[in-house]
Amino acid sequence: MGILHIPRPCNVGRVAALALWACACLAPAAAAPPEPPWAAVPFQKGVVYSSWDGSYPHRDAWQAHLDELQAWGVEWIQVMTFAHQPAVDGPGIEPAPAERWPGAFVDAARRRGLRILLKPHVWSRQFYDGSKRWRGDIRMDDPAEWARWFDQYERFIVREAQQAARHGVETLSVGLEYVHATKPAHTARWRALIQAVRRVYPGQVLYAADGNHELDHIAFWDALDAIGVNAYFSLGDAAHPAALAAAWVPHLARLEALATRHRKPILLTEAGYPSVEGAAARPWQWPTGREVADPLGQAQAYQALLVACTGRPWCRGVYWWKLYERPESTPLTHDYTPRGKPALDVLRRWYGRPIP
The per-residue pLDDT for 37 is 67
Domains within the chain, CATH numbers bracketed: 42-351 (3.20.20.80)
pLDDT digits (tens, 9 = 90+) for 2-54: 433 333 334 434 333 333 333 333 344 445 556 666 667 799 999 999 998 99
State mean pLDDT over 121-140.
91
The per-residue pLDDT for 1 is 38
pLDDT digits (tens, 9 = 90+) for 176-215: 999 999 999 999 999 999 999 999 999 999 999 999 999 9
Residue of 13 and 156 predicted with greater confidence = 156
Cα dist from 191 to 36, 205, 216, whole Å: 23, 12, 17
Contact 94, 86 (CB under 8 A): yes
Where residue 140 falls (left for φ over 0; alpha for ψ -120 to 50; beta otherwise) is beta
The per-residue pLDDT for 33 is 52
C-alpha 76 chain-centroid distance: 12
Q: Which residues, including other chains, have CB under 8 Å from residue 216's CB and lie 6 or more apart? A: 258
